[in-house]
Amino acid sequence: MRQRLEFADPGEAAGLAAFLGRLLRWEKNAAVRIQAGGGVAGVFAKPARFEVVVVRTGRLLGPPGTPGSTGSTPGTAAAELDVTVSAGELLEGVEEPTETVTVPGPVTGPPWTGVLPPRGGWQAFAEAPPDAVRAVAVAAVAEFRERAERLTPAARTRERLDALAEEIWSRPLGRTELPLRAVHAAHALGFLGGTEPLGLLKAGPWLRLRAPAGSVVVRQGGDRGPGLSVTPV
């Protein structure tokens, strides 16, 4: 029997639908891993070609239940849900008027679904204004397009474009270790809206860009360099 998640906050279902829609533009057969319990649901994804893990979380009214059921009694231990599903089928199960989503049947997930970022142990080390981060993302995308267009047709090979992308997206965000590929992914998935400061966090080898709409996580670091100013926490 398929389970259903009911969100506690208005607009969460619409936000999830928008997130999944953007993800599917990059990879029409994308899979996502869902973890739900303790009053919170997280939807993890790895957008094609970004080399990052992204997660969108939302508060739940109760534990996962089946359509037509009332779920468990409030205050009892939350049921756990941990499953990898088709992003497209999950999008089809979103019901915005009722703030619910029906979870489709499981699929065999890609290797990344077995290695998710840690739940705890995150230490904040900086904040960055979203408008400045958006400007960095837009400028980097424009640079990639401009430099790619300057290449002759014979030189515009997949290998050359991949090398150009690696050069640009491996740069750090300001004086942090966070690579710009995380900023690019956050921009592409609609995480950089609003005015609330973005958090930069670290847990072991993991680096995280946290925004109200979701987080982008990378398992890598980089040399510190000049650029965007961030506010230390």
Q: Is 135 inside any structural domain?
A: yes
CATH number of the domain to which 17 belongs: 3.10.150
Q: Is 118 inside any structural domain?
A: no
pLDDT of residue 68: 52
pLDDT of residue 231: 41
Q: In degrees, to the nearest 5, what angle opens at C-alpha 220 toward C-alphas 216 and 224?
A: 100
Residues 127 and 217 in one domain: yes
pLDDT of residue 220: 66
Residue at token pair 């990898």: 84
Residues 127-161: tens digit of each pLDDT: 999 999 999 999 999 999 999 999 999 999 999 99
Q: Is 117 inside any structural domain?
A: no
Residues 76 and 148 in one domain: no
Mean pLDDT value of segment 217-221? 79
pLDDT band at 67 (very low <50, low <70, confident <90, very high): low
Out of 45, 79, 108, pick the residue that ends a domain.
Answer: 108
Q: Is 133 inside any structural domain?
A: yes
Q: Is 171 inside any structural domain?
A: yes
Q: Where in the sequence is the domain holding 70, given as residue range(s)?
A: 4-108
The model's pTM is 0.86
Residues 145 and 228 in one domain: yes
Q: Is 98 inside any structural domain?
A: yes
Residues 44 and 67 in one domain: yes
pLDDT of residue 50: 87
Q: At residue 70, does pLDDT exceed 50? A: no
181 and 206 Cβ atoms separated by less than 8 Å: no
Residues 204 and 142 in one domain: yes
* DSSP letters for 112-139: GGGSPPPSS--EEEEEE-HHHHHHHHHH
pLDDT of residue 72: 38
Q: Number of folded domains in the chain?
A: 2
Residues 129 and 93 in one domain: no
Q: Is 114 inside any structural domain?
A: no
Residue 106: count other Cβ atoms within 10 Å of its Cβ: 14
